[in-house]
Structure 1
Amino acid sequence: MRGFRRFLPCFLALNGACSLAVSAADMEDHAEFRLARRALNDGLPAVAATKATRLLAQEGWSSTERLTLAALAVESWVRARNGTKALELLSSEQVPNKPFWEAQAKMLAGDVEGARLALEQRLQEGEATSQERLLLAQAWLAAGLNDQARELLVTLRNTATPDIGRRARLMLDELDLNSGSYQPAVSDLKELTTGGDPAAGLLRARGLMEMSDLTSAEALLRELLSSTSGGERMHHAASVLLAEVMLRQGRQVECVETIVQFLDNTLESQIWTEAFDLLAKALDSDLQPIVLPDACLRWISEGNGVQKQALLPPASTGVFRGHALLLAARWMLHQNRRVEALGLLEALIQMHRDHPQEAEAMRLALETYGSLKADTRVTALADQWRKTYSAGQSAMVDFVTGSTAFDRGEYTQSIRLFETAANVAATLAERRAALYNAAVAALRAGEWMLYQGLLGQLEIVSSGTQSSLQTGDTAADLELDQALDQAARGQDSAVQSLRAFITKHTGHPRLAQAHLALAEVLLVQVPTDFAAIEASLASAAAAPDLTDKQKQQISLTRLWMLDKQGQLKAVTETGAEYLKAWPESSQAASVRMKVADAFYRMENFASARTEFELVAQEHASSPFADTALYFAGMAAISMMSDEGREAAINFWQEVAERGGPLSIPARQQQALAKRRAGEETEALKLLDSLLTEKNLPEDMKRSLTCERAEILMLLGKTDPSQLEKAVSSLRDLLRESDLTYLWSARAGYTLAAVLQASNRTTEALEACYDVVQASGFTGPSSPPEFRWYYRAGFFGIDLLETQKEWEAAARLAEKLALSTGDRAAEAKELATRIRLEHFLWDAKP
């Protein structure tokens, strides 16, 4: 387990050895001073700083007393992470070790570079204390200057006070472990471990494990676990690390027993994720078959042992039970007990809504039902997925259900699913992908009229009808027709059949058709062999007596290949050549859409707008017209000009008046545009009008509700009554019984923002907790969910820090750090900083 590297500071922790050492003997009779000192010791540094600063403002202090008060105030402001306040005091008051505290305060105020430069100057002048040099080493490490930091740490290790020297040694040892130099780190950590440092012991155990000295690692971990020092978190980490050591030793059964014991005896733990992952790894190991532990079955029904005994079971019990369900289901799937696994997956899906692993459970269930040919349940789960995760997150369902339906021959059902996805797609790329799947399903179903209609929009994706050339060679024609049918059905054998035809019939009149079909089949394969596609297109282009339609088809296929390669500039050039050569082509609209899309993706919004407008003007009756107008508006507003915004609003107004599938999204975009222009009242009117629409999709309605609340919050700056309207609508949304995690998270975060704007901080914090707690320990499971999860989580941390509730803030940050999203590392760093600055480490020196 490499995640247990959190005992060493990346920013200097403040403790007794680093505190401002001024005797306070003469001040102890002052009640307010005693309260300030007590507040600091109780973890309320802002309270201590406020009291000490207020005392400083009073008259009559002696110089020694003033020095004592200033020392306490500066230290307290620094511990409260208010560098600005600390710098204000430091500019007017004398304190011991002033340069060190100024550097600390500058870092807290965001002037890390200034702090580093000041410390470097102190070092060059030979004036830097050991505390300042240690802080400088940490600043260098944060900047990635590892060699400079190492050199300075070596000096500190050899010359500084025992406390600073020990800190420097630990930092050096961790540097060695991270760089793979295990032996030097392990050797040095041995001495520190002998001195009774739990952090050093855990680091050393990790190093021993990486060196494959598993026996020594195990002994050290058992010693740590038998110690009463180090804190709960260190003991949890040691327990899981010990289990991993056992697994590496091939002691699979003991590993399972150890991790089960850990999980069954922790009311709550911030490393449950690692523990469940390790248990799953051990159960799936091929060392020997292991029966699912009985405890896991108990966890499914009632949580673990200590949760069951608690007077009021913690909220985490439900999440723990969900993890146990998924663990058991995975084990049964590994045992090929698919029906039993499905029962557990269904239980997780139905009983633990919004569980962090809900999406994974649904994915496993879809795949397993598909393998069992249970198409009805596959379709039902697919529908549930769409309702839960919205169309933008249903790509996996599209392909799983599509593949299953194809295998079962239920093509009509596939068409319906894919067309639904296309109708609610939020971007041109999503719509194109969904329409492509619908076209393939229509081809398989024999729905030729429908296929041709879809083909008009997707000629680039699955382009072309085969040539009608006949040769009189019935056997050869039949062979090619069979290969083309395989290609149309998406069968893997199509490539082999087409290549066999090309090799066998080198002079066949329909050879160009075969080369072109091969290029099209290769284009949809993953991974894509672009060199082979280009070779096939070149062979097709070199064939004699090509029809004009075949020439068009070659150009179209090359255009789609360039798009798939991401060669956007080449797409625009090739598309322009096509339009110049065949301006009256039936595919002119789709080609111009492709060119417009490429310009849009290149962020050449002016050219994209022009191309989209041309599609709408020249092909007003085509299926692309509405989409072209919609994205002409998107391109126009992206030009960041008043003219572009007004043009976009007009484009969307035209789309809205047409009354097509994009009419409501267009009106929504109008509202957003007016909001960006500062026309909140007009934007609110548009949203209110949209919300009165009948048969409004639920996801659209929820999105509009959140956007409306945001606008009300803006209006609330001058009219506080608007804030209560926003709160009321969001609470109504959150009370919906079928609300998915995505929408509860977005609405919850928005509610927190509105409440904070209303100065209702406690309620705002509650809304943030509701969002984070609902996601469990491993976090959400899709990018949109992560977005609102992190927004709410970091907002909650901000509120807690504002209220000076450091322990709660650190725990919330560590919870976010256990997630799997792109801000987990940021959360971990934040938790580390909070704990370092506020003495919240479980393992204290």
Structure 2
Amino acid sequence: VLLADPRLRDLPWAKFWRAQALAGLHRWADALSLYEALTTDRGSPFHAAAVFGTAEMLRALGKPKDALRKFNLLLHDQQWASRAQLRAAELYIDLGDAPNARRLLAEMKPTTIAERRERRALRGRLELILQRPERALGMFQALLKRPEGTSHATLIAALFGIAEAHLQLKTPESGDDFIERFIDRHPADQDLPLLFEKLHELYRAEHKPSRNELEKWVRRPEQPRRTFARWYLARLEIRAGRRERAAQLFSDLRRTSIKSTAIAQALVEFAQFELDERNFDEAIAILDDARLLHPEPALQAKIEFLFAHTQYLAKRFDTATAAFEQIAHCNSPWAKAALFNASTGWLQLGNHSRFQVDYAELEKQGGDEEARSNLRLQEGLIQAAKGDKKAAASLQQFIRDFPRNPRVSEAWVGLAELAFHSSPPRLNEARKNLAHAFESTPTTAAAERADYLSIWVEEAAGGNETKVIELAEKFLEQHALSPFASEVRMKLAELYYRRQDFANAQTQFELIAQNNADSSLAEKALFFAAESAMSSMGEHSLDRALVLFDQVVQKNGPLRWAARNRQAVIERKLGKAKDALALYDEVLKSDAPVSEKREALCGKGDVFSEAGATDPKNYERAIEAYDQLASDKDAPIDWRNQGLFKKGLCLEKKGDRAGALATFYKIVDDEARPDQHSELFWYYKAGFNAARLLEEDSKWESAAAIYDKLVAAGGSRSEEAKARVNNLRLEHFLWTD
């Protein structure tokens, strides 16, 4: 308050201390103007200090050569010479100017222990830029062994020097020990952000970095070390592919009581992590938390851009475009990129006039041809995605205007997609456009989409499954990480299955499940992998199918009970009737869909029917199940007819031929149900079996009447029934008037 008093503002001492205060707040530019004002009065007691302050501010603002000129003014000042020489030597080292750095360090005459220690640290850094890391290590380690009288900044510089030396020696695992020990002893050190960043640099250089120290610090309560440990351990977990653990660490960090500007970057990384996972709302909420920490201007600008980018990816184009426009028209390092993105946002919103305004502004700002051409391409691609009739013209215009643009191939692919998705598909045109894309040195994106589209074009053409399989295999080989990979692999698996190449089909389905473990696609893929294994002739294929179906069950998804029913079928094939019955009972007692319960009930009847050969009592159990199935008034006709037919077979096996015939008649003679003739499979089976029983009892006319019904049904077995009834009439002289 005192320094802000207008009556004191112009006094030299007030200006100086105000500059000092601003420097302490990292307001370098504001402090610089005050320091420079003080340097004009050579007689002022603050002159030398102001020159030194000016140099420091210039250094902080990234102007090392200007800073050096100011430091050089103090090299012969009795009070400031040593400090100026140290700072100047440091700048020369930063600039890689070893001769001048060596000269200054040799000329200086330090007057305090702290200055001597700082000179030693700078000599160590000098050895590093001269690629003599062993000599540098000795100097830095000597400082750490006898730290008395050494400033904190010099100790940190020594730690960093040791780290750099080990990086040069390619022994980063030895360098991290020093920083880990320091952090362990100083959990609240003011330079923890820098120390953790340097430690992370060492870890990145290690083939298999140890996470023991980070794990220990995460468990221990000392702050802010615990917060930084969570952050950097999360980075390691991401690098190792353990994203769930990384998410938990970031979440714990976000909930911490430490609200420091230093962890704003951690929150930005967390937001990017959630963005990569396509958790857009969560990413935006985290960015809001980062804003509250009042980060440095550069990071603040990044937060605003990332916010707009997230909104764009979330398809909230109005919010995203407004945010990009705001960034584009302020003093942000992201301004030009934001203007480009705002332009695409207007395209997404269908506001072509605003797109043209931003496009013109981009040109006016000196936007290069690549940026302008990319916008024109985006215009066509976005129009295509929205089904805009102008899309083809826009893409063709792009090809004419920018024939040498490396992304011309993407325009050709876009035209191919338009041709393919037209109604009806223009397959020849799509093929020609794809050929142009392949001829024009396609970009990675164009090659991926072209290879993908080629699969579907070839399939739509029909007649050459082998070619489709070749294209799908080629795609997976060349674009294994593509977002289209699972879809292509599914198509490949389906083609293999259709060709009864069950082993390859199973392999592809299992790969889909592995690569999409957290997706609903995994359940379907596992189910069909199991179906493929069931159909395979492999030695242990049924055992593998059981395992795969069990994995489906464990996912507790919509295919759970279908998988249980299929397991029961396998157990029957393996001769394990009791296990099959247990599985069917599990389905029947569950909350499974009605269709799966019907499947289980029918399967249960089949098990008892098969067991009737050894114990006739099982036929009664089977009949009970089939009766229950047939009596379900809500069941589709095929289930009713199947139940009745199988009941009839059981009655016949029991010796009740009359009961069997009556049961078969229920299927053939039931005209009451409107959907009766929509089901012919069991209808024919019942009819032929009824006719067979009648023939065996020499009831020729009744048998002929049944065959006539089967002929009249007009299904796939009508001709068979017609031939049979004609033979019957000829053999037994059954003539009608």
* Pairwise TM-score range, normalised by the shorter structure: 0.3 to 0.5
Q: Which has the larger radius of gyration?
A: 2
**TM-score, normalised via structure 1 length:** 0.40
